[in-house]
Amino acid sequence: MTTTDTTAAAPSQPYRLTPAGILRSEWHKLWTLRTTWITLLTATALVLAVGITMGSTYDGDDSEVDTVVFVLFGTQLSQICLAVLGILVTAGEYATGMIRASLTAVPRRLPVLWSKAAVFTAVAFTLSLVTNVVTFLVAQIWLGGTDKELALTDPGVLGALTGSAAAITLLSLIALGLGALLRSVPGGIGAFVGAVLVLPEVLTTLPLDAVDTAVKYFPAQASSSLGSITRVENTIAPGAGLLSLALWAAAILTTAALLLRRRDV
């Protein structure tokens, strides 16, 4: 009498690499970093703290400043935090050497970059929008009864808060692309500060009308056309500003993608 071994191992199923799986991987990598929590909490705290300070100390001297711009002055600081985080999302893996494991797991490479960009965009936009709305509402506790009293449902308010969040997100996405392009955290930060923030200000000193017009479409200047209820003086239209930011981000990410495919690592 013979017996059949029923414990024989079944044929192993081949490993399936799916877009959803890559997205989950990048999501887990982002949230398991202590830097992510510190940077996001810092960005939120800066916007909220500055908004409370502006609201609680308002005495009417800045009546000409748009209310949303007034309470969201802190976004100028949070933008730096999110830009640094964007650079760390891509260039940070090159610094630690983890990029080799990521690209080994995803041989096609490009899904890694697109997943990083998608996850970071979702987190940055959601956090920025929620922070903007909360800061606006808290600041109105002190601004009630003044010329800057507004409700969230007033015309243009929610659009301005959303526009500010979109501008911050796209600028941070440009930083993420620079990190992927340069594969260096210091290099990415230097490129973002120098090329995105400083260079346009230097170019505006040139006595050329064509340069002044072109600079309005640079990332930092285009972002200033968003995030306000009324049209900001000497800026392009909000729609053009949003499109310009999106094109800058797309161009830098596309360049980084092309180099990612050609480089060894």
Q: How confident is the model at residue 7 (pLDDT cuts 50, 70, 90)?
A: very low
Distance CA 113, CA 133 (A): 30
* pLDDT reported for residue 153: 92
pLDDT tens-digit series, residues 248-261: 999 999 999 999 98
Q: Are 41 and 72 in contact (CB under 8 A)?
A: no
Q: Of residues 24 and 10, which shows the higher confidence score? A: 24
Average pLDDT along the chain: 90
Integer CA distances (angstroms), 112 to 12, 27, 131, 145, in order = 26, 11, 28, 51
Count the neighbouring beta carbons within 10 Å of the beta carbon of residue 97. 9
The 10s digit of each residue's pLDDT in 117-158 is 999 999 999 999 999 999 999 999 999 889 899 999 999 999
Tens digits of residue pLDDT in 202-234: 998 888 888 889 999 999 999 999 999 988 888
8, two tokens: 């024989």
pLDDT at residue 106, rounded to an integer: 87
CA distance 53 to 56: 5
Please tell me the predicted confidence (pLDDT) of residue 15: 58
Residue 5 φ/ψ region, left for φ over 0, alpha for ψ in the -120 to 50 degree band, beta for the rest: beta
Helix 110-143 to helix 34-56 angle (10° resolution) is 20
User: Which of these, 243, 189, 188, lies nearest to 216 by C-alpha position?
Assistant: 243
> Does residue 64 surpass a pLDDT of 70?
yes
pLDDT cut 70: percent of the chain above it: 94
pLDDT of residue 181: 95
Residue type, 88: L
